[in-house]
Chain A
Amino acid sequence: MFLIYCPHCGEHREEEEFHNHGQAHIARPLDPDSCTDEEWGNYMFFRKNPKGLHHELWVHAAGCRKFFNVTRNTATYEIKEVYKIGEQPKVVE
């Protein structure tokens, strides 16, 4: 059992209901036309793959179908916090 707290439903649910959508807080370049290939490539394809604290995007796919952010330790699976889209993480170190 790996339970994840959904901030929209307000309760813990089984991991089976969720999907991970990778790294959170990826800002789209404001002016894509003036990006260099490297800048655009980094935005499009390159993601962090840390061992330890990671800010991730999750979706409650089988539940309310809303996205939210999770701060998770990738080595221990411990979830430090869950916060809604548009909010900033409190746990950063």
Chain B
Amino acid sequence: MSDVKNETATVSVMNQLPDASIVGQSPLFHADLATIAKKGPNTGGVSFKEEALLGHITLRMNADNAEQMSVVEKVLGVALPTQPLTSVSQGDVVVRWISPDEWLITVPGLQAFDIETAFQQNMIGHYQVVNVSGGQTLVTLSGKHAKDVIKKSSPIDLHPSEFPVGKVVTSVFAKSSAVIRRSGEETFELVIRRSFSDYLWLWIQDASREYGLVVEA
């Protein structure tokens, strides 16, 4: 087992967001949402907002391992959701269940490196922590017709009895994929791929046209 120990010690962790003084460009930077928000209507059926430059961390480990679970609780301040399709949130930290051995943790961008480092220092056994912040972004759809826009894009049943607040699903979304979480009665968070973000931004504008799209920045 000594090999395993050595490998753990030499894991290289790269700080993807060096510090707050460097301007980061989110996947929807080119869309200039701030200008659109200033110009556009203030009322409508759907509101769109990019939660730009959050820290996204993928964690893979064994949920049956009590020691690993207690390390996670120590690092994040909140226990991992082990029930399928659920999420937990504590302040700015949201942990989404992705698969029986995989979770997606979102934190404010500048905390990602600290949390990743804390995992590498404290975690034991067989596990994986990867900072995937650069590969995806989080957008929120809210308002009375937010669910109608998602209904057009995904086969997921969004009725409150099937999809309560806090539920998370990974599914197809407009020929791409998204991790959809209901964060409020009328608020949904979508974690989408960076490479599909422009396509989905165009898609969402088109799909929300009939309800009136409000862009928030």
Question: Do residues A66 and B99 form an inter-chain contact, with CB atoms below 8 A?
Answer: yes
Q: Note all chain B residues with C-beta closer than 8 A to A9.
A: 84-85, 169
- Total A-B contacts with CB atoms under 8 angstroms apart: 36
Question: Do residues B172 and A8 form an inter-chain contact, with CB atoms below 8 A?
Answer: no
Q: How large is the interface on B (under 10, 10 to 19, 20 to 34, 35 or more residues)?
A: 10 to 19
Question: Do residues A10 and B85 form an inter-chain contact, with CB atoms below 8 A?
Answer: yes
Q: Note all chain B residues with C-beta closer than 8 A to A63.
A: 169-171
CA distance A35 to B143 in the complex (A): 63
Q: Note all chain B residues with C-beta closer than 8 A to A91.
A: none
B137-157 interface bits toward A, Cβ cutoff 8 Å, 1 = contact, 0 = none: 000000000000000000100
Main secondary structure of the interface of B (DSSP, over half): strand
Q: How far is the CB of A82 from chain B (nearest CB, A)?
A: 14
State whether A17 and B171 are in contact (beta carbons under 8 Å apart), knowing that A8-B84, A10-B85 are contacts in the complex. Answer: yes
Binding site for A on B (CB under 8 A): 84-85, 98-100, 102, 155, 169-172, 177
Binding site for B on A (CB under 8 A): 1, 8-11, 13-14, 16-17, 62-66
